[in-house]
Chains A and B, each alone.
Chain A
């Protein structure tokens, strides 16, 4: 047989050989398929036809339909087209809670030196509008950003003002613990359709233990209700973080989200940043998280089978890359990485960072991903030294360990995480716990598709429509 191989990677999952091309198209085939292809030995006729149709093999070195291949690849990298869409404004480090795994190195409510000045806000908003993206998301974080209503209003109103000329599509998101949503804050949210993104770790005993307060859960849930009644049910979303304690409660956490009227959950692992680095054993945590994730995902699938529509967001992101011709804007699973390309962070102190996690490193005096200061010109920031340095390591297509990884097109590059955990932006995949986690989860999702196709596919599709 005479044909050429086009670029693809492969791996073995559930007794099958899974081949994935650069477009994320996946072919599930028997063991030994790749060996046969490489040696031009015959494979099953229908399988061969599928490989030819889907850009795995070609009878010419450059496929005749390479323009279509290119268009499809462009669609998969669409998130690069418009450059930074997510702009995070860290209004303050002040906070009214004291969470055990706080990643934002908060200080207590009375502290004043950790709040963004009006000048910084103005400069940051102006920088945001330098991004060519027609879609902008302005996300307010902290500490607890709702403690700074004046600054919040100023930032939004300035953006609205500038946008009269710019005519971009702007979304506002307030990341708040919902503990103390004052009328003033609610007014701003209502007036400018600000979405509330909150955090809830699960049932009361779990949430309160994590938050280091007895009544945090009650306050948060009351806050949800209040925000929903004023802003609308769908304007409020919640994020969970899987603390060590939470690892034992996958089902309870999912049930809690359902009980509170959410239609999805994002099962999110802890980050090794901020106070969370005091967590004793990261390898152990990662392995336990993977099991936690599988249990929760299976439970969610069962709920869907029984007729309850409920989405696991992380799986949905991976599935979108896997079973559709499209991609997502999710910043943590991209190549080139989401830093700068998709997200910029304007910190309370006037410095601009490549991502949320980059600014947390800075709280520990590591300024590797500090791109510049809001008083500098835009170009110095996004094309500056720190940006250029990170850019060398932000494509997993070109990282050892990732290039030939079977699930690479569904994964992403993360030089920030590599640096913070391995002290090396390039990273060493065999010892990377992020790699271990992502690979395990992606492969698990593929195994579900292989082993329970008829059951899971209708559900997975319904999550993406």
Chain B
């Protein structure tokens, strides 16, 4: 499941050169550089070179790589990437379910779960900070609480855990019958899972869910996660007292979430 449909073209070389240029021209005080895709680890050693270049040019910039984690089955590759990135490297890895067949179904690939799990252990072994991303959908939301327990028992080393609302576009539309679920239907499971993890002192956050869908005690976990150029607010949001702290909605979504209601 992906919001940016993969294209079956080999664009690696061209894009790579563009990226090198971007890094060379970036301002030195840049707080964060995101490397995403597609799947950036498909660059293979070039990704390591790119990370090393960023590290050299921008020593204080956090490097955030978004990856499905499967390439990290290769422990050696993982170690080399970790060494190139130094201590300000974060890898965001989607974790769709603790049950392998559900994860594989959502990832669209058999065997993905096992590879991602081993990849996560290799990343942790190499000392890389991991952002575990749970994209909330119709297949996995019933398991949010078991997933939280699973994370605590099997992946206690992750840096933080992000529960992410889905954007209602792209690939998600094609499979929308199977995947799409209104956030209001999973809010109870979400809150219980967040509570479970927060009580264990895990850093846990909620992305892309407007504040009015959350009970007050869970709003502190919500992050203004949708970039300005991608977000929008509804007219009714003007009456809302917490609009300034709210992530709003994806401007690209084809319809707003159900249950939005301004907070006094």
Identify which of residues 196-230 in chain B touch chain A, using a CB-to-CB cut-off of 8 Å.
199-201
**Which residues of A lie under 8 Å from residue B98 when comparing CB positions?**
49-50, 53-54
Interface membership of A260, Cβ < 8 A: no
- Using CB atoms, name the residue of chain B closest to A326: B156
Whole-angstrom distance between the alpha carbons of A49 and B113 in the complex? 14
* B153 and A25 form a contact (CB under 8 A): yes
* A-binding segment of B30-38, B114-122, B160-168, B175-183: B114-122
* B154 and A325 form a contact (CB under 8 A): yes
- Can you list 15 contacts pairing A with B, beta carbon distance less than 8 Å? A49-B98, A49-B99, A49-B146, A52-B100, A53-B146, A53-B150, A54-B150, A65-B117, A65-B118, A67-B121, A68-B117, A324-B156, A457-B199, A461-B200, A462-B199
Known: A46-B143, A46-B146, A53-B99. A325 touches B118 (CB 8 A): no
Interface membership of B243, Cβ < 8 A: no
* A64 and B114 form a contact (CB under 8 A): yes
Whole-angstrom distance between the alpha carbons of A325 and B202 in the complex? 14
Interface membership of A61, Cβ < 8 A: no
* B154 and A72 form a contact (CB under 8 A): yes
Identify which of residues 92-145 in chain B touch chain A, using a CB-to-CB cut-off of 8 Å.
97-100, 102, 114, 117-118, 121, 142-143
Q: How many Å from the CB of B35 to the closest CB on chain A?
A: 27
Whole-angstrom distance between the alpha carbons of A325 and B152 in the complex? 7
Whole-angstrom distance between the alpha carbons of A49 and B117 in the complex? 16
> Chain A 42-67 against B: per-residue CB contact (8 Å), 1 yes, 0 no?
00001001101110000000001101
**Which residues of B lie under 8 Å from residue A325 when comparing CB positions?**
152-154, 156
- Using CB atoms, name the residue of chain A closest to B98: A53
**Which residues of B lie under 8 Å from residue A458 when comparing CB positions?**
199
Give the interface centre of B98, B118, B153 by most chain A CB atoms within 10 Å: B153
> Chain A 61-79 against B: per-residue CB contact (8 Å), 1 yes, 0 no?
0001101100110000000
Given A53-B150, A324-B153, 9 more A-B residue pairs with CB atoms under 8 Å apart are A23-B153, A46-B143, A50-B146, A52-B99, A54-B98, A65-B117, A68-B118, A324-B156, A325-B152
Those 9 A-B pairs whose CB atoms lie nearest each other, nearest first: A49-B99, A53-B98, A461-B199, A64-B114, A325-B153, A50-B146, A53-B99, A458-B199, A325-B156
Give the interface centre of A46, A53, A465 by most chain B CB atoms within 10 Å: A53
Known: A54-B153, A68-B117. A49 touches B201 (CB 8 A): no
How many residues of B are counted as interface, with CB atoms below 8 angstroms from the partner's CB atoms?
A: 20
Known: A54-B150, A465-B200. A49 touches B143 (CB 8 A): yes
> Chain A 397-412 against B: per-residue CB contact (8 Å), 1 yes, 0 no?
0000000000000000
Whole-angstrom distance between the alpha carbons of A340 and B238 in the complex? 69
Q: How many Å from the CB of A97 to the closest CB on chain B?
A: 42
Whole-angstrom distance between the alpha carbons of A50 and B146 in the complex? 7
Interface residues of A (CB under 8 A from B): 23, 25, 46, 49-50, 52-54, 64-65, 67-68, 71-72, 324-325, 457-458, 461-462, 465
**Which residues of B lie under 8 Å from residue A53 when comparing CB positions?**
98-100, 146, 150
- Using CB atoms, name the residue of chain A closest to B195: A458
Whole-angstrom distance between the alpha carbons of A325 and B98 in the complex? 16
Q: How many Å from the CB of B167 to the closest CB on chain A?
A: 26
- Using CB atoms, name the residue of chain A closest to B111: A64
Q: How many Å from the CB of A289 to the closest CB on chain B?
A: 31
Whole-angstrom distance between the alpha carbons of A462 and B201 in the complex? 9
Whole-angstrom distance between the alpha carbons of A65 and B153 in the complex? 14
- Using CB atoms, name the residue of chain B closest to A458: B199
**Which residues of B lie under 8 Å from residue A65 when comparing CB positions?**
114, 117-118
**Which residues of A lie under 8 Å from residue B154 when comparing CB positions?**
68, 72, 325
Q: How many Å from the CB of B123 to the closest CB on chain A?
A: 13
* A71 and B121 form a contact (CB under 8 A): yes
**Which residues of A lie under 8 Å from residue B102 when comparing CB positions?**
49
Whole-angstrom distance between the alpha carbons of A67 and B124 in the complex? 14
Known: A53-B100, A461-B200. A324 touches B152 (CB 8 A): yes
Q: Residue A46 contacts which of B100, B142, B200 (CB distance < 8 angstroms)?
A: B142
Q: Chain A at the B interface: mostly helix, strand, loop or mixed?
A: helix
Q: How many Å from the CB of A156 to the closest CB on chain B?
A: 36
Whole-angstrom distance between the alpha carbons of A461 and B196 in the complex? 10
- Using CB atoms, name the residue of chain A closest to B150: A53
* A465 and B201 form a contact (CB under 8 A): yes
Whole-angstrom distance between the alpha carbons of A68 and B98 in the complex? 14
Whole-angstrom distance between the alpha carbons of A462 and B199 in the complex? 8
**Which residues of A lie under 8 Å from residue B146 when comparing CB positions?**
46, 49-50, 53
**Which residues of A lie under 8 Å from residue B201 when comparing CB positions?**
465
Whole-angstrom distance between the alpha carbons of A49 and B144 in the complex? 12
**Which residues of B lie under 8 Å from residue A50 when comparing CB positions?**
98-99, 146
Whole-angstrom distance between the alpha carbons of A27 and B56 in the complex? 49
Identify which of residues 224-252 in chain B touch chain A, using a CB-to-CB cut-off of 8 Å.
none
- Using CB atoms, name the residue of chain A closest to B115: A64
**Which residues of B lie under 8 Å from residue A54 when comparing CB positions?**
98, 150, 153
**Which residues of A lie under 8 Å from residue B153 when comparing CB positions?**
23, 25, 54, 72, 324-325
Q: How many Å from the CB of A193 to the closest CB on chain B?
A: 28
Whole-angstrom distance between the alpha carbons of A25 and B150 in the complex? 9
Q: How many Å from the CB of A21 to the closest CB on chain B?
A: 10
**Which residues of A lie under 8 Å from residue B143 when comparing CB positions?**
46, 49
Whole-angstrom distance between the alpha carbons of A465 and B201 in the complex? 8
Q: How many Å from the CB of B196 to the closest CB on chain A?
A: 8
Whole-angstrom distance between the alpha carbons of A71 and B100 in the complex? 19
Whole-angstrom distance between the alpha carbons of A25 and B201 in the complex? 20
Give the interface centre of B99, B114, B117, B200 by most chain A CB atoms within 10 Å: B99
**Which residues of A lie under 8 Å from residue B156 when comparing CB positions?**
324-325
Whole-angstrom distance between the alpha carbons of A49 and B99 in the complex? 6
**Which residues of B lie under 8 Å from residue A457 when comparing CB positions?**
199
Q: How many Å from the CB of A457 to the closest CB on chain B?
A: 7
Q: How many Å from the CB of B218 to the closest CB on chain A?
A: 15
**Which residues of A lie under 8 Å from residue B142 when comparing CB positions?**
46
Q: How many Å from the CB of A211 to the closest CB on chain B?
A: 41
- Using CB atoms, name the residue of chain A closest to B192: A454
Q: How many Å from the CB of B82 to the closest CB on chain A?
A: 18
Q: How many Å from the CB of B193 to the closest CB on chain A?
A: 13
Whole-angstrom distance between the alpha carbons of A321 and B99 in the complex? 24
Q: How many Å from the CB of A98 to the closest CB on chain B?
A: 47
Q: How many Å from the CB of A459 to the closest CB on chain B?
A: 10
**Which residues of A lie under 8 Å from residue B117 when comparing CB positions?**
65, 68
Whole-angstrom distance between the alpha carbons of A72 and B114 in the complex? 16
**Which residues of B lie under 8 Å from residue A25 when comparing CB positions?**
153
**Which residues of B lie under 8 Å from residue A462 when comparing CB positions?**
199
Whole-angstrom distance between the alpha carbons of A324 and B118 in the complex? 20
Known: A49-B99, A50-B146. A68 touches B121 (CB 8 A): yes
